[in-house]
Structure formats: structure tokens, C-alpha cells
DNA sequence: GCTCGGGCATAGACTGCCTATGTATGGAGA
DNA sequence: TCTCCATACATAGGCAGTCTATGCCCGAGC
């Protein structure tokens, strides 16, 4: 997959996943991989910097959790600002994909006769 | 609009527009702007380097045309390699958008979960 | 002892879009 | 005449973001 496609949607997807309930980095990647049917693989080198960035921007909040088996996880939850930003990003994404589909003509081109 | 969204789709859109008939840079931008309903604005600083890149890669071929009103245009037409690459890029785009929509869950998901 | 899966993190490379600026023509308006 | 704007192409430098590669720690299995 062209990795450049991910650019600009990563933050939105992270926010969206976290918006459904607190989770941690590794699990987010697994969730997205599963739900995208294997199409989207969030690499660590992209995911963790993005999480730090979103937290720095006040979109996410985190806290460490020590598990029983000696591991530690950094759980994230979305903030009010994050919810707001997510809505904006989803709207942008919708507008963008519609724009691309419109520019490409796409399979719907023959529906144009509306008058 | 988040400019990063455009990343990775620019080449595809250029190839697609040119695939419908020879055209030139400025007109491509106008076409895409119109067909995307104002959502996608191909800036000169992105468009022209992309055209040069695609030509260098053998996806497009160009020739200069002098117009009657003293202006000159560089018309592009798509090559066989360009057609092939376009098909690949469109498939990637489709897979990617489906992946994102899947990862986002879609509009129905939280209705189900709340029940 | 070594490898593997889970879990987080960073540095540096690489890529690519955008802003700003430049060239040039020709028509509209002050 | 002079300026502004639209048409038309082009490039340099800035900036942002993803990936590769690597590192750390823990526990389980061979």
C-alpha cells in the first residue's frame, strides 16, 4: 500500500478508536488492522509519535497501567477537545473522499441527469 | 482542508483526468476543482512538479502548443504505463478508503452497541 | 541461553505538499 | 500609461509526517 495515503487520516483513526473506549497503542494497531480487514497497518514509528502529538495537543489523555503479568501499558482516553477535533476530521475526510470520487468521475457518473 | 489528505492521491487524480483526453496543467486544476465541488484545489507548487515526475516516470507524454492569443500550453496525454499505473492506484485507493471506513466503524455501529 | 510475542519509545531518512516567487502574455479599468 | 487580474508554466525552500531500524523491558517456551 502507498504509505502516503495514510497521511492525514492517522490522527482521525486514532481519535476514533480511542473515542469508543480507553485503549493503548498496541491494541489500537490490532483493532485497526482487524477492522480494516488487513488494509491498514499502523506502524510503531507512526503510531507512537502520533499518540504523543495528540496528547501534547490536548486531544488525548494518558495514564500508565501495570498489568498483573509485569507488563505496562499506556492507556489513552479522548478529551473534549479530541471529540471536537474528531468531528472536524471526519467531516473533512467525508468531504475529501467525495471530492476525489467526484474528480474521478467514478461509477456514479451516469446519475448526473437530475433535471 | 488538511493538505496532508491529498498526499498519495494527487498522482492518481492527474492520471485519471488526463486519461479522459489530452489536457494541460492549468485546465486540470480547474477540472478537478469543479468536479470535486470545490473540495480539491490542486496548487501549482504540487501540480507542476507532479506532472514532471509522472512524465519522467513514463506515465505521461507532453508536447507544447502555441495558442492563437500568444499563450503556450503544455498538453499531456497518458501512456500505456500510465493507464496501468492508474488502475493500480485506483485499486489501492478503493482498498484504502474501505479500510478507513471499516476502521471507523461506520454510522451504524454505535447504534448497535447502544442496544 | 535464546527466541518470540507483547509493549513502548526514538532517531534519522525519505517523501511530498505548500508558500512564495519568478517568468510571460493580454485584456480591463483607472 | 499604469496597475491589476486571469491565464500558463516553473522552481526553491520550508515544513510536516510516515517508515525503517533500533533500542529497552518483561515473561513464556524450547
In eight-state DSSP terms, residue B115 is -
pLDDT of chain B, 115 residues: tens digit per residue = 667 888 889 999 999 999 999 999 999 999 999 999 999 999 999 999 999 999 999 999 999 998 877 789 999 999 999 999 999 999 999 999 999 999 996 654 543 443 3
The reply to whether residue A16 touches residue B103, judged by beta carbons under 8 angstroms, is yes
Residue A72 Cβ under 7 A from any strand C atom: yes
In this prediction, residue B9 carries a pLDDT of: 93
Q: Which chain A residues are within 8 Å of B100, Cβ to Cβ?
A: 9, 13, 36, 40, 93
- Predicted model pTM: 0.88
For residue A2, pLDDT over 70 is answered with no
Q: What separation in angstroms does the CA of B20 have from each of A100, B57, B83?
A: 16, 20, 11
For residue A36, pLDDT over 80 is answered with yes
**All structural domains of chain B with their residue ranges:** 3-114
Domain A3-114 has CATH 3.40.50.2300: no
Q: What separation in angstroms does the CA of B16 have from each of A2, A15, A25, A34?
A: 17, 32, 37, 31
Of B95, B89, B113, nearest in space to A37 by CA? B95
Of B85, B90, B5, B3, nearest in space to A5 by CA? B5
pLDDT band at A1 (very low <50, low <70, confident <90, very high): low
Amino acid at each position: 500500500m502507498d504509505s502516503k495515503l495514510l497521511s492525514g487520516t492517522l490522527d482521525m483513526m486514532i481519535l476514533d478508536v480511542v473515542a469508543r473506549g480507553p485503549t493503548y497503542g498496541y491494541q489500537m494497531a490490532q483493532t485497526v488492522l482487524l477492522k480494516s480487514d488487513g488494509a491498514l497497518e499502523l506502524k510503531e514509528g507512526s503510531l507512537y509519535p502520533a499518540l504523543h502529538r495528540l496528547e501534547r495537543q490536548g486531544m488525548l489523555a494518558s495514564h500508565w497501567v501495570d498489568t498483573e503479568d509485569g507488563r505496562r501499558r499506556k492507556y489513552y482516553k479522548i478529551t473534549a477537545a479530541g471529540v471536537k477535533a474528531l468531528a472536524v476530521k471526519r467531516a473533512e475526510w467525508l468531504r475529501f473522499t467525495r471530492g476525489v470520487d467526484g474528480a474521478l468521475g467514478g461509477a456514479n457518473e451516469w446519475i448526473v441527469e437530475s433535471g
